[in-house]
Amino acid sequence: MRQKNNIKEKLIQNAIEQISSRSYTSVGVQELCNLSGVTKGGFYHHFKSKEGLTLAAIDSIWGSYKKTILGPVFNSDIPTLEKFNLLIETVYIHYVSQKEAQGHMCGCRLGNLAIELSTQNERIREKLEEIFQNWVDYFEQALNEAVTTGELPINTDTKKSAQSILAFLQGLVLIGKTNDDPDFMKNLSRAVLNLILDSKQQKITIKEN
């Protein structure tokens, strides 16, 4: 049983690495089998198709993001709005480490798949839509807490603000990837919380780095 699980995990990890550094369409089943040391028969024992493997890879990526980024940030005991400063710092460190390990900035693995496949594969699009909504939920819950504690005005639209923050971060990572420069993200990151405005358009004070 452990050997079977190891083979399945190898396939998932190799799919993540290859698809992230290249693209979904450029990676074939045979190549993934060769990298994982498994026959095609072994592949299809675990996954019905490359699509099925990719769905499992997406779940694995999301689990990693929750474990290394979202969980530590939003389960911390610091004031609610400071969690977004910590989020930006944590994301920045993540992409610096990514570039050091791989020689270039690959960007958000989930965002890359959304760009490539959202009009090509409905099952993958739906899976990514679900995960992005879960991402927004993390932000919205934190913003609701900030309203409760008085850190944000009571009329703050926390749902739209959460969606805006995610869109901003995804765009920031995309341009950082294009420039192959995670420092691009750090230089603009202080603009994130200014997306959260009250009805008088009063900006929130953001801690300087």
The CATH code of the domain at 51-195 is: 1.10.357.10
Above 80 in pLDDT, residue 195? no
> What's the residue count for the chain?
209
Q: Among the CATH numbers 1.20.950, 1.10.10, 3.30.70, 3.30.530, which is that of 1-47? A: 1.10.10
44-66 pLDDT tens trace = 999 999 999 999 999 999 999 99
Mean pLDDT of 183-207: 56
Is the per-residue pLDDT at 201 higher than 90? no
Domain residue extents for the chain: 1-47, 51-195
Mean pLDDT of the chain: 87
How would residue 204 be classed by pLDDT, with cut points 50, 70 and 90? Answer: very low
CA distance 173 to 163: 16
CA distance 189 to 171: 11
Q: What is the CA radius of gyration of the chain?
A: 19
| CA distances for 24 relative to 27, 101, 103, 115, 190, angstroms | 6, 21, 20, 11, 33
pLDDT, residue 139, reads: 95
Name the token pair of 82. Answer: 């400071």
Question: How sure is the predictor about 4, in pLDDT bands with cuts at 50, 70 and 90?
Answer: low
User: 77-93 pLDDT, tens per residue?
Assistant: 999 888 988 898 899 89
Distance CA 84, CA 90 (A): 10
CA–CA gap between residue 87 and residue 169 (Å, rounded): 10
Percentage of residues in the chain having pLDDT higher than 90? 60
Q: Which amino acid is at 171?
A: G
Q: Compute the average pLDDT of residues 176-180.
A: 90
Q: Specify the pTM.
A: 0.85
Residues 144-164 pLDDT 10s: 999 999 988 888 889 999 998
pLDDT computed for residue 187 by the predictor: 67
Residues 180, 95: Cα–Cα separation, whole Å: 10
Q: pLDDT tens digits, residue range 12-27?
A: 999 999 998 888 999 9
